[in-house]
Amino acid sequence: MSRLKGQVAVVIGASSGMGRATALAFVAEGAKVAIAARRKAELDGLAAEIKALGGEAVAHPADVSKRADVDAVVQAAAQRYGRVDVLVNCAGVNTQNRQLATLDQAGWDRIIGINLTGALHCTQAALPKMREQKSGLIIHVASISGLWGDFSGAAYQASKHGIVGLANATRMEERLNGIRVTVIYPGLCDTPILNNRPVPPTKEQRDLMMKPEDIAQACVFAASLPPRTYVSDLVLMPGALQCNGQPVG
């Protein structure tokens, strides 16, 4: 398939989970990718896998909470491929000490710094090239926690709600520059972040969850739309486990 042939995508948080699956899905659809995350070994492994599949990828270690790191990733993609059509922000963390009774300042700062400030860094890094092109799509993979209350913790929920505000502002300010913004809200998905829960899910629960590839296909769908339209918000749920954001059963 080649729904994204000729496009260049930057995928932040590509070393595992949804980011890794998204990078592979974009390559399978004909896109060239720049992949970034903190873990260099995992990134290099993914880049090698993509090249073995006949795709093109440039790997660049980066900490999304550091603006200079994200700028370097986008610049590397633009220098190598000449343009940046899509930026997918999949970076995200949480902490075991997430409830208000145990959340400390360091935990709050880390979660907000990566999840929300990182989203700002991605946005501001991508905008100059997209403005120059008069086109571009920014996809934030947020969480259903950005729409409804749950037990993921105050810092995590605040960061995901903040992404919604950032996305809304970006759409309003950049719409005449041809820049679109999509926010994807996954419900329960079997990714490594769940290992950091106070009580990790069981195998039986994980078997009923969505998989990273499901979210990756949502990103491909958003990126494959013609420039005249875009998906503003897309909610994805595992049917057996969640209804309107809440656990069922």
Q: Which residue numbers are catalytic?
A: 156
Instruction: Name 181's bridge partners.
Output: 138
Residues 227, 153: Cα–Cα separation, whole Å = 37
Give yes or no for a contact between 86 and 61, defined as CB atoms under 8 angstroms apart: no
* Alpha carbons within 13 A on the beta-carbon side of 200: 10
Length of the chain in residues, anyone?
Answer: 249
**What is the separation of C-alpha 152 from the centre of its chain, rounded to a whole number of angstroms?**
18
Question: Please, where are the H alpha helices in 1-66?
Answer: 17-28, 40-52
Report the amino acid identity of residue 232. S
Residues 211, 238: Cα–Cα separation, whole Å = 9
Instruction: Name 236's bridge partners.
Output: 186
Residues 6+ apart with CB under 8 A from 139: 86, 87, 88, 89, 181, 182, 183, 184, 219, 222, 223
Residues 94, 237: Cα–Cα separation, whole Å = 20
Q: Which residue matches tokens 């995901």?
A: 160
